[in-house]
Structure 1
Amino acid sequence: MLRIDRLEQAVPALGPIKSAQPRTLNWAVVSAELGTGLPQDFMELAERYPAFIMADFLSLHLPDPGEEVGFVRGMKETLRSLAALHEEEETEGYVPYPEPGGLIPWGDSAEGDNFYWLTGRDGPDSWTVVVETRNGYWATYEGTLTEYLVGLVTGTVEPDGLPPDFPGKNPTVIS
């Protein structure tokens, strides 16, 4: 997919952790456990890479083959935390999935920020990005996860609520 190729170009440090062979993931299990499919760019990224941390800051949660159920359990734990925040009216009106228009987590940061998809009725490939910072600031990006990451690296997306120098022009990547 073009978006994944653009991410690989923007973040050359991904090269050393790229799988030599596509990682075979059981997306049917993920969908059944979660109750929805996930965006195509995310699935393609997970088939090429293990979970990784970019710029010693952003952890991108990707499932490992055979660990799909555990991956979804982790997502559901984050959703429970989000539900508690929502009950305390600290989510700027955002709701956790499976509520209509609910958020689904895809990453977090070393400083306690959380990254989500904002689900919608047009399906996973139309989902956009929501960032919840540790300071209670919420920001949105009208694009896909990979477009968001590419934009952060190339400087076309502001790191709203995140450290102003994140991720830098040539971020490190560790798995």
Structure 2
Amino acid sequence: MGRVLRWHSDRMDDFAGTQAPLRRLTDPTEAIAALELAVPGMVSLRRASPAVVDWPVLEAGLGIALPVDYKLLCELYPPFVIGGFLGVGTPEPGGETGWVQATREELETIAEWCEEANLVVPLHPFPTPGGLLSWAASPQGDFFLWSTHPTDPQEWTVTVASRSSAWWHYTGGVVQFMAEYAAGVLEPWALPQVRPEAEAW
């Protein structure tokens, strides 16, 4: 996956820092290949044929377009869990409205976390410009979030909000994040290191 740049602040109780991939994978197919390489069991979970998710309906309900790497992931895979920890609840065909509703409900929790966090640079939930939007969670209550970009979803990055109140950023997309997390390339910062295995959720 490459070298990871790290920076630690002196406020480790709140903000652990930012990690960056050596090269951001902008091609969604390349990002999926990196995830399948890092988590070999992913291949066995692939759908027989890509799901036909009604993205226009889903994105209209959400009020914003989603990154292409995530949309390809959802089309190729059903909901899954990596290492028994990182759970990705992908939208299913016909369930787009329910997925939007659940995502919007999570924004209330994210708003509470943002208010309680003692961060030097305050964070806010979507739909604030650049606001946070959930894409995965752990059974222990950790949130994996997008830091949205107001005009280009391909510029979205990852923010981790752990149940231990540590926050940190990763300047790549969600699929590349999962690949590097599972491969042990990332410093997990307040998260457990996960096993490179996947199972259907």
Scaled by the length of structure 2, what TM-score is found? Answer: 0.81
Task: Kindly indicate whether residue 79 of structure 2 is the aligned counterpart of residue 51 of structure 1.
Answer: yes
- CA deviations 1:23-62 (Å, max 9, x no partner) are 0000001110000011100000000011111111111121
What secondary structure is seen at the aligned counterpart in 2 of 1:45? helix
Please name the residue that 2:92 is paired with: 64
Residue 94 of structure 1: aligned partner: 123
Matched, 1:42 2:63: no
Match of 1:174 in 2: 200
Alignment partner, residue 144 of structure 1: 173
| Structure 1 range deviating more: 60-69 or 116-125 | 116-125
1:114, 1:108 → 2: CA distance?
5
The answer as to whether partners of 1:85 and 1:91 remain within 8 angstroms in 2 is no
Cα distance in 1 for residues equivalent to 2:124 and 2:105: 15
**1:174: how far off?**
2.7
- How far does the alpha carbon of each residue in 1:100-121 deviate from its partner, in whole angstroms, 9 at most, with x for none? 1100100000111000000113
Say which structure, 1 or 2, has more relative contact order (CA 8 Å, 6+ apart): 2
Q: Secondary structure at the match of 1:50?
A: coil
2:184 corresponds in structure 1 to 155
Instruction: Write out per-residue CA displacement over residues 54-111 of structure 1, whole angstroms, 9 at most, x where no aligned residue.
Output: 111111121000000100111101101112333x442731100000110010000011
Name the residue aligned to 1:111: 140
Q: Is the 8 A contact 1:96 1:103 kept in 2?
A: yes
Count residues in correspondence: 171
Give, as a single letter, the amino acid of the residue that structure 1 aligns with 2:62.
Answer: L
Q: Which moved more, 1:2-11 or 1:141-150?
A: 2-11
- Looking at structure 2, the residues matched to 22 and 119 of structure 1 have their Cα atoms a distance apart, in angstroms, of 26
Residues 78, 200 of structure 2: 8 Å contact kept? no
The farther-off stretch of 148-157 and 111-120 is 148-157
**Structure 2 unmatched runs, 5+:** 1-28
User: Any idea what SS the aligned residue of 2:158 has?
Assistant: strand
Counterparts of 2:112 and 2:37, CA distance in 1: 39
Looking at structure 2, the residues matched to 124 and 113 of structure 1 have their Cα atoms a distance apart, in angstroms, of 23
- For 1:13 and 1:150, the matched residues in 2 are separated by 12
Q: Mapping of 1:4-43 within 5 angstroms?
A: 4-43=32-71
TM-score using structure 1 length? 0.92
Kept in 1: contact 2:42–2:197 (CA 8 A)? no
Quote the sequence identity (%). Answer: 36
SS of alignment partner, residue 12 of structure 1: coil
* Gap runs ≥5 in structure 1: none
Q: CA separation in 2, counterparts of 1:153 and 1:54?
A: 8
Contact 2:149–2:155 (8 Å) recurs in 1: yes
Indicate if the aligned counterparts of 2:107 and 2:125 stay in contact, CA closer than 8 A: yes
Structure with more helix by fraction:
1
* Alpha-carbon displacement from aligned partner over 1:126-161 (angstroms, at most 9, x marks no partner): 100000000111010010001111111222211121
